[in-house]
Amino acid sequence: MIRKAIFPRCYLQGKDILNNLGGIGELETKKLFVLGTNTAVKQIIPVNLSSWQQICRIEYETFSGKCTWDEINRVRKIAASHNCDFIMGLGGGKAIDTARVVAWQLGVKYIAAPTIAATDAPTASACVVYNDAGAIVDYFTTANPDYVLVDTRIIARAPVRFLVSGMGDALATWFEAETCDRSHFKNICGGLNLRAVMAMAHLCYQTLLEYGRAAKISCEHKVVSPALEHIVEANTLLSGLGFESGGLSCAHGIHDCLCNLEGTHDYYHGEKVAFGTMAGLFLETRPQALIEEVYAFCRSVGLPTTLKKIGLEKVTDSQLKAAVQLVFDNKESYLHNIRVDLTPEGIIDAIRMADAFGGKEKN
């Protein structure tokens, strides 16, 4: 029985930390290639470029917006031509994943610098590659970042929906890690869970309950408060370590089912994971008090608690069955990381129950 966990080499978080590139000593006199989103290239790089150039040599490129193999190959050629020592992904999850793959392919050090706290991608080794239509074509692991730089002033200025979505993704962390640990399922990095990881996953959940509402208010007013700092850490670090070294289960499996329904395509990953978490509570027959606690949290921060709130108000059972069956038939799906007599009908019942419970609660 081998227990295993993987971590980024160094995690740095704080207000204005990006101004001096986190004070990373080994960057001095080196060449840094930055892949930035359109917003990052127009708003973040220009105000920091002069200070960055005092630390290292800088080259940068605008990310296309899609993490596809065409984009990865395009960026790799540009980065290789600059003979860089470090590559930094500056933006959301897809920009970070693209830069991560390129750094791995070129064998150079990698820095993840998220500009939103919507997912736990920044700390991870896992990468998702899509086609031009937005469908997943590859899922694999590279290496965890050498550095993660999380500038909370930048995140506080991002749309609040990103932060809330990140809380939805983080919400699944404890429940999925506990399910995998209880049933001795292997985590994403291929081992059984360590007690340290379980403690971090539980801390992630506790942090959401305690600071989530205040952090949302902070973001709405673009204020970097202690609550915001705590939630950014939960969304990024605790959730990232928790999912990769704790494991995924039915919340992300149900998310994958929901993604097969067109009505959900305008909703963020974390919003669908949050609903998947709620459905998972019924699938695993969790205690009533815990279910009520999770729903109360979701309502307090604005996460969806009904199918209507993820674009599926009129979804039929036959549509749900077709969407669920696609994932259920994949025996490698995280949906199967659960010790119950799993059937497509049972999953649909859990989705319907989650919707009904959310509809009965006061708004």
**Catalytic (active site) residue 255:** yes
Better pLDDT: 334 or 271: 271
Backbone angles phi, psi at 305, to 5 degrees: -120, 0
82 is catalytic: no
Q: What is the pLDDT of residues 79-110, one digit of tens each?
A: 999 999 999 999 999 999 999 999 999 999 99
Structural contact between residues 31 and 59, judged by C-beta atoms closer than 8 angstroms: yes
pLDDT score of 137 = 84
Tell me how far apart the alpha carbons of residues 272 and 255 are, in angstroms, rounded to a whole number.
5
Q: What is the pLDDT of residue 134?
A: 73
Residue spans per domain, the chain: 10-156, 160-360
pLDDT exceeds cutoff 50 at 363 = no
Mean pLDDT of 330-359: 92
Which sign does the torsion angle of CA 234, 299, 91, 253 carry?
Answer: positive
Confidence of residue 131 (pLDDT cuts 50, 70, 90): confident
pLDDT at 119 (0 to 100): 87
Q: Which of 151, 252, 256, 355 is catalytic?
A: 252
Cα four-point dihedral sign 209, 211, 213, 215: negative
Helix 269-283 and helix 288-301, axial crossing angle in degrees, nearest 10: 160
The topology under which CATH files domain 10-156 is Rossmann fold (3.40.50)
Q: Which candidate in 230, 255, 256, 355 is catalytic?
A: 255
**How far from the centroid of its chain's Cα atoms is residue 108's Cα?**
24
Question: What tokens were used for 310?
Answer: 């993820």
Catalytic residue, candidates 120, 146, 181, 269: 269
Residue 288 identity: Q
pLDDT over 90 percentage in the chain: 89
Mean pLDDT of 126-138: 83
Count CA atoms within 13 Å of residue 70 on its CB side. 7
pTM (2 d.p.): 0.94
Query: Is 269 considered catalytic here?
Result: yes
* Average pLDDT taken over every residue of the chain: 95
164-221: pLDDT as tens digits: 999 999 999 999 999 999 989 999 888 999 999 999 999 999 999 999 999 999 999 9
Note the CATH architecture for domain 160-360. Answer: Up-down Bundle (1.20)
Catalytic, out of 169, 181, 256, 355? 169
